[in-house]
Each structure stands twice: as C-alpha cells, then as structure tokens.
Structure 1
Amino acid sequence: MKALIVIDYTNDFVATDGALTCGEPGQAIEGRIGELIRDFLAEGDFVVMAVDAHREQDPYHPETGLYPPHNIIGTAGRNLYGSIQEIYEEFEDTIHWMDKTRYSAFQGTDLALLLRTRGITEIHLVGVCTDICVLHTAIEGFYNGFSVVIHEDAVASFLPEGHKWALGHFQNQLGMTVRKK
C-alpha cells in the first residue's frame, strides 16, 4: 500500500502574495499535484494534506524568529492553493487533513501511526519546500522505515540551488526514488 503526502501547498507558501511564498516555482506544480491526488484517490490509496499550522507570534515556536508570520491558524493563508483547495473540498471525506507544527509531517503528529494502521509501506511526497519541509518529512519517513518516493515534477522551493541539492540528497545519500513524470 502507498500514500501521497501533500506538504504545505498553501496560499502563504505558493500564492504570489503569500506571506512566505516560493512563488512561480510553487505555482508551476499545481497541475501535477492535482493529477497525482486524483490518481492516488482513483487507486484507493491514502492521501494526506500535511499543512503547516502556526499561532501568531508564538514565543515558544522555534520558527518564530526565522520567518515572517505564515500559515496562521484561521487565516486564508492556510487554505490550499488554487485548484488543490477545490480538489480537497470535492474529496474532503476521503482526503485526510493533518495540521503540523514542524518542518517534518511526522514530528509531533500521528502520521506514522495513520500510515502503519493502513498497511502503508511506501510514501510519495509532493509540495513545498523541497529543501525544507519535504526534506525533513522524507528523512523522518526514511528513519521510520517507509520507502520514500519524491515526485520531482511536483515539488518546489524558494531557491533553485536548494531544490537541486535536496533532490540529489534524496537520491544519493538516502537512496530514495526521485521520480520524473
């Protein structure tokens, strides 16, 4: 069994006016993410929206001093970007929404348990940012014993250099599959 994990594909990370946007590179992968969601659902696979969740000016969160406020609970910035929000609303009863408060979708969540109870051994990662949240989720998935597949045409980042480095790291240092369409 396999699962698709869509990481942080929100207005704040992708929209042109997002609070912490990767802009055009993130916008360019919208169609491919939508296609993968529909493919996974059609095959009866598990789909997870792993969405960054912050409280404004949280003095205890380690990211508070690193980035401008983003993905604040209750704001439009946390909505999924573009057609991905529409797909989520269409399949809301099937797609699992999961708040996360750290880079990794595994850290402080029950993601590993959700996957294991469904017999899932292979996770596919898409979303943003390749060298931040996708990277940390991939590494923790690896250490939790899951086979990890990164869809190169469905991940993006702020910096092309970081994106390229992360794709190489997934494949060369972690032995993960980096899949091109």
Structure 2
Amino acid sequence: MANNALLVMDIQRDIVDIADDGSGYLPRLRRAIDGARAANIPVIYVVIGLRPGRPEVSTRNRVLTAAVRDGLFTEGDPGTDIHPDIAPQHGDVVVTKRRGSAFSGSDLDLVLRVRGIDSLVLTGIATSGVVLHTLCQAGDLDFDLTVLADACLDTDPEVHAVLTGKLFPRWADVVTVEDWLKAITPQ
C-alpha cells in the first residue's frame, strides 16, 4: 500500500487574493485537508518564498520576474503567509521553495523520503504553475500521483480545464475532492 501525503501548494494570502474566484475553492480544499488528517495522511504545505533582494530570481525567468515586479513572494511579508482558512496545524510540515516546482530549491524530497512517502496528492494555486511543475518533477522522481482537480485553481479556467482534463490524466489519477475522500475513508 502506498504511503501518501497531501501537498497543499502556494495557498498564500497574495496568491489567493489574485486567483480565488469565489467558487468555494478554500472550503473544498479545507475538506481535503480535514479528510487527509482524519485518514492519518500527512499534510505538507509548500510555499514560495524569495529572500529580500531576491538573489534567486533571474531576469530570464519570466514568471518570477513578473512576480517580483508586482512585489510578491518576499519571505516575511504578510502576503506570503499561508491563508488562515487552511492554516497548518501543529506537526504539519511547511516547505519553502524558490521556483515553480515544490521540489525546486526546497528540502521536500528529503522530507518525503525520510517519511517513506511514495505517493503524492496534489492541490494548489496555480494549476498551470506549481501543480504542473510539481507533477512533472514528481513523475520524474517516480512518485505515484493523484491530482484533486477541484482543489487546484488557475486564473485561466480554460488552461485549468485542459490541464486537468487532458494532460494530467496521462501522468496521474485526476479526481474530485469528494471522490478522493470516499476512496480514503474506511467503509
């Protein structure tokens, strides 16, 4: 049986403010988090944090350069805090990454390997950002993958639909929060 972890990625105040469309995203994500905890599945939070002065940002990186221009992601700024509606609990691990993938510039792989985790359940904002990048890298690292389609969000609904409906199913099981909760809840 696989050792699962639920990754809650980039659900930070500034990112939620930009992307949340009022569709009930945070309550759905909260249900997934609560369900994971009830099933004793570790919840690992991943946040993007850049050092003051942003020495890890190259002008060749279009996404990070635009974020820096907008003043996003500086460690210690209130906007980089995890959104309070899904805040970590005592014992939850919080990993700081420096780029798109949850693995980039972080110790996520070490945290997962030490715990014997070989299966990841992905959630986060944005579907075309952290979720896509993490899915690709996690697949290359031989993790078994599940994406909770309605616990991912993107500022472009069409891109979200293409990724979760056409691309992600090639590499992962793509399910809804409710279907995943049914699968992890003992009958």
Residue 18 of structure 1: aligned partner: none
How many residues of Structure 1 are paired with residues of Structure 2 in the alignment?
A: 168
Q: 1 or 2, which has the higher helix percentage?
A: 2
Cα deviation digits, residues 83-133 of structure 1 (max 9, x gap): 112xx2xx22x2101111110011122212211221211100111000111
CA contact (8 A) 2:20 2:153 kept: no
Identity %: 27
Q: Which residue of 1 aligns with 2:175?
A: 179
1:35 aligns with 2:31: yes
Report the more deviating stretch, 121-130 or 58-67.
Answer: 58-67
Match of 2:10 in 1: 8
> Residues 122, 11 of structure 1: CA spacing in aligned structure 2 closer, same or farther, 3 A cutoff?
same
Tell me the C-alpha RMSD between the 2 structures: 1.7
Distance of 1:79 and 1:38 partners within structure 2: 20
CA offsets, 1:125-161, max 9 Å, x none? 1110001111101111111010110001100001112
Gaps of at least 5 residues in structure 2 are 179-187
Counterparts in 2 of 1:135 and 1:24: CA distance versus 1, 3 Å: same
Return the TM-score normalized by structure 1: 0.85
1:56: Cα distance to partner?
4.7
What secondary structure is seen at the aligned counterpart in 1 of 2:124?
strand
Runs (5+) with no aligned partner, structure 1: 16-20
The TM-score, its normalising length taken from structure 2, stands at 0.83
3-state SS of paired residue (2:73): coil
Partner of 1:55: 51
Distance 2:162 2:121 in 1: 19
Give the corresponding residue for 2:83. 81
